[in-house]
Structures are given as C-alpha cells and as structure tokens.
Structure 1
Amino acid sequence: MGKICLILGGARSGKSRFAIDLAQKRAQKVVYLATGLSRVVSFTKVTENRKGTPAFVTSGLSVDEEMAARIEKHRQSRPRNWRTVEASDDVTKKVAGLDPDTGLVIVDCLTFFISNLLGRWNFTEEGSQIKESLIEDTVMEEMELLLEEIKASPADFIVVSNEVGMGLVPPYPLGRIFRDLMGRAHQLLAEAADEAYLLVAGLPQKLK
C-alpha cells in the first residue's frame, strides 16, 4: 500500500495545480485517471520500464464545448510524459489494472466519479419518489470498493475533489443527495489518507 493524499477545494481554488506540483516532486511515472467521458483527453506514451514515475487519472465529463475547453486546458497543464487513462464508469477496474511499477496516481476528480454514479439513477422532482437511503448506500458501496483498490495498490495516490458542503442548501433533492454523498466520501477518504489539504485562493492548508 502506498500513501494517500486527499486534496479538497472549491472551483478555481488551485487544487489541480497543487496536485500536479506535488506529483512532480514525488514521482516520475504518473498516471492521470479521468473519471468522466471526454472527447479531448489524449493518451501519451510513457517509458514502461522506469520505476517511480507518476500516473495521473483525470475525471471530466465533456458534455459541451465549454466543458471540452476546460478539460483541454487541464490536459495542457500536465507534463507530456504523464499517461492519461480515461475511465468514465469503470474507475475501480482501472485502478486495479494499473502497472505494478506505477509510482503515483492522480485521481482528478472524485466529484465526477460520484456524479457519474448518480447518473445511473432516474430522478423525479418529487422527493417522495427518490429512495435517498438506497441511493446513498449504493454509491458509498462503490466508493468503498474504489478505496479498497487504492489501498491494495503499491502506488501512491493523490485524490482531488471539490468541497461542495460550504454553500447554500440545494433547493432540489438530487442536489442535496449529491452534497451529502460528497461529504461522506470525503470523510471516508480523509480517514484513510496519510495527508489531507484544503486549497483556498491557491493556498494549501494542511489538515492532516
């Protein structure tokens, strides 16, 4: 089992940049794992026999041109020798199938992993028709399976995620379920992590 680092922050807080900087200092063979569909994520060649290189896992769902541009900007910010792996709905399997000599994996970000899991459910406007406890338990089971694979890997992991629990209460059921799930997932990861940071205005605050 390698070390786990959790990085939280709001939109444009600098969390992805901080994750990249950490990875560059800590490893050479990086896998960037993308947990969402993307038309623009590319796969780059990596020298296979060099141990200690970081691995980066991206997570972005490209549903329109604006999102595509955001994902492309993130891709351009990563070193060219890092390998990008796209995993829209099989993140856990992708983690389990990583090369054993991978030095470090960046999962960026957990937010899309959770939202993609929620996307498997059919929601209605009436809260009474949403089995919230069943949905939350099912999604958290998937989260626990992912964490088990992360712990089983010899690679170090940097997991990036959006802190969404500091704003207003969402006015609709799906938004509240998503917010609550993110909070539970963050607590699960933070407990298992060796390090945890909160990014505010580009400044990392060490929590653990």
Structure 2
Amino acid sequence: MSRFILVTGGARSGKSRLAEDLAAQAGLPVTYLATAQIRDEEMARRVEKHRSARPSHWSLIEEPYEPARVLGTLTDTREAVVLMDCVTLWLSNLLLRLWPGEEVSGRDTLPPDFQARAEAEILPKVEELAGVARELPAGFICVTNEVGQGIVPDQPLSRLYRDLAGQSNQILARAADEIYLVVAGYALEIKRSGRTLLSRPNTGSKLCADC
C-alpha cells in the first residue's frame, strides 16, 4: 500500500465506511487510531456504533491529543495499515484543552489572543501529523470532516474551530497521495498520487486561510 489517503465529507456522508473499506482492501492487518473522547451518552452511542461495525481483529489505539506521537512509534511497522478517525474530533479536543476554565456557550468574543494562540499550537501539530503519516510504510488512511459547508456558526469559538478545520484539511490534502470526497454515500476521487483531478485555488504552497 505505502500511501497516504485522506477521506473527507460531511456528517453521516459515509466517509468512515469508505475509509474502513479501503483499509480492509489493503489485505494487511489494520491499526485503528481513534481520537474521540466520550463526553456524553450521545458520543458513547456513536463510538459504540463505529466499534461494532469494525472487524473485531483490528487493533485499536485511542489517542485524543497526540496522534503524530503514536504514528511515530509505528513507522517501522510494515505489517499494518493505520486508519485514523477522525481529524476534526482531534482538533476539537485540542481546542477545548486550550480553552480557559469557563463556560464555552454564551460568549460573544474570544479571550484576548486566544485565536493566535490556538493557531500557533494546533496547526504545527497538523503539519507534524502530515509529515509522520508519509513515513508509515504500510500506508495511512485519515478521515476528516468538511465542517465549513453549512451555516456560519454564531459563536466565535465555533467559527474558530471551523476555520482551523478548513486550514488543517488543506495541510493534510497537500501531503496526501489520494483524496476522496464522500457525498451521500458516494465517493469522488479528487487527487491521486500527487495529481489533482479537480481544480484548486492557485495559492502555490501557501495555506489558503481565507478560501
């Protein structure tokens, strides 16, 4: 396999199922890297639903904050494909860990310099993940979400999260060998082995923070 595949799409689009199918098709053992933190009953039900749908013989690693560190320990493992699900839950974990100990909802403004601090803390971690992912000899499949295609969030923290997710997806997309966009259960391949199949903004190697 030896390639980095990024699978993206909206909520309940079928992206996780596609990623799991791609992992199974590799014909190798699979290590499932889960980033979810169970904070309530709804999340517990979602995690259990995903868990029951996966093959029982897949290995499981749970890491909500430092997936790149975990991947770094697997770069000598040629026998297993790594499937990470998902990037946007990981970003949420990082953002909430940075948030000061106060209520999130109801705020009209972010704390001073919080956006700059969050970008400085989180985006380098995404760059690190992208770099380590390319070193995995058996291949890496990464699931993320397109969270910016709906309405504009009314809370500043949610808007920051949306922007960080979009920028993070751009970072990972640049590093990926293949990208699939999943819509209503159907996958559209938009990049293969460095060849972009659909047009993209002419931003060179710069991160497009405003597109």
TM tier, smaller: 0.7 to 0.9
Q: Which residue of structure 1 lines up, in the alignment, with residue 7 of structure 2?
A: 7
Query: Structure 2 unaligned runs (5+)?
Result: 192-211
Letter in 2 for 1:27: G
RMSD: 1.7
Question: Contact between 1:29 and 1:104, CA under 8 Å: does it hold in 2?
Answer: yes
Q: Measure the CA separation in 2 of the matches of 1:84 and 1:78.
A: 10
Number of residue pairs matched by the alignment: 184
Where do 1:1-208 residues align within 5 Å?
2-35=2-35, 60-98=36-74, 100-122=77-99, 125=107, 126-127=109-110, 129-208=112-191
Query: Structure 1 residue runs of 4+, over 6 Å off?
Result: none
Q: What is the DSSP-based 3-state SS (H/G/I as helix, E as strand, rest coil) of the residue aligned with 1:85?
A: strand
Residues 21-79 of structure 1, C-alpha deviations (whole Å, 9 max, x = no match): 111111321000011xxxxxxxxxxxxxxxxxxxxxxxx22111221111011011111
Question: Contact between 2:30 and 2:82, CA under 8 Å: does it hold in 1?
Answer: yes
TM-score, normalised to structure 2's length?
Answer: 0.82
- Give 1:105 deviation, angstroms: 0.7
C-alpha change, 1:109 and 1:177, in structure 2 (3 Å) is same
- Give 1:15 deviation, angstroms: 0.5
- Give 1:122 deviation, angstroms: 2.4
Q: Measure the CA separation in 1 of the matches of 2:79 and 2:156.
A: 40
- Report percent identity of matched pairs: 43
Q: Measure the CA separation in 2 of the matches of 1:110 and 1:12.
A: 15
TM-score, normalised to structure 1's length?
Answer: 0.83
Q: Which residue of structure 2 lines up, in the alignment, with residue 48 of structure 1?
A: none
- Give 1:113 deviation, angstroms: 1.0
Question: Contact between 2:131 and 2:175, CA under 8 Å: does it hold in 1?
Answer: no
